[in-house]
Amino acid sequence: MFRRLTVITVAALTILPAAAAAQQDRWRIGVKGGYASGIGDSFEGPGSVSAGASVFRPIGRNVDAGVELGYHGLGTTTTRQADLYGPGSTYREGFTRSAWQATGNLRLRPATSPIGPYLSAGGGAYLLRIRDVIEVRDAGGQMIPQYQFRQSDGQVYPGVNLGVGADRLVALGRLGLGLHGRWHGIISEGIGSFFTVTVGLSLD
């Protein structure tokens, strides 16, 4: 599943612009990048990079429908303890999370605004990736093999997102430079949530 979502994201960045060129009056293509960070205990620790792509088509005077794809790094939480396995030893654990997104979305936007503001809501699949690495070194800095641990896991969960943004804060011909904010909720024994703030280019 991780590979499939990777292929979908790459395809969005390479194939969709060509489709937009063929129907410039009907589709809006976007790419964006910025910052992602967890909210609360579910995704604690510093945030990391967020990147995504989208394609939308008007289905009414003030409503667009489309797809949003994205990768969101949720940072690494690092724990260090000294002398845990003998004098001078060092214990280090790094716990890293990331999420891949594939969702269907609706956008509500004023029909006549030149900066393209919108409200967004969507839902779909989120692939949550977790990597846990434990390293223990002795007083001389050498690894102690029996205490080493590495594990990676990925699981798909349903999720939702809410957002606000503007596609054309700066107009560059048919291109627009915009700002986007999202709240994402991954549903798994409750809701683990994170937010993203990104800058993007859109092609009308």
Give the single-character DSSP code of 5: H
**50 lies in some domain:** yes
Residue 116 Ramachandran class (φ > 0 left, ψ -120 to 50 alpha, else beta):
left
What's the distance, CA 69 to chain centroid? Answer: 8
Q: Is 0.85 surpassed by the pTM of this model?
A: no
Domain extent for 121: 2-75+97-126+155-203
pLDDT in tens, 135-144: 999 888 888 8
Residue 177 contacts residue 204 (beta carbons within 8 Å): no
**6 lies in some domain:** yes
End-to-end CA distance of the chain: 31
**91 lies in some domain:** no
Nearest to 202 by CA among 161, 173, 182: 173
Could you tell me the pLDDT band of residue 80, with boundaries at 50, 70 and 90?
Answer: confident
Scanning the chain, the segments in alpha helix (DSSP H) are: 2-14, 16-22
What CATH number should be reported for the domain holding residue 169?
A: 2.40.160.20
Tally helices (H) and strands (E) across the chain.
2, 8
**80 lies in some domain:** no
Residue 81 contacts residue 94 (beta carbons within 8 Å): no
**181 lies in some domain:** yes
**90 lies in some domain:** no
Nearest to 51 by CA among 168, 204, 197, 203: 197
**143 lies in some domain:** no
In this prediction, residues 6-15 reach a mean pLDDT of 47
Token pair 């990391």 is at which residue?
48
Count of domains for the chain: 1
Where is pLDDT greater, at 155 or 3? 155
**139 lies in some domain:** no
In this prediction, residues 75-85 reach a mean pLDDT of 84
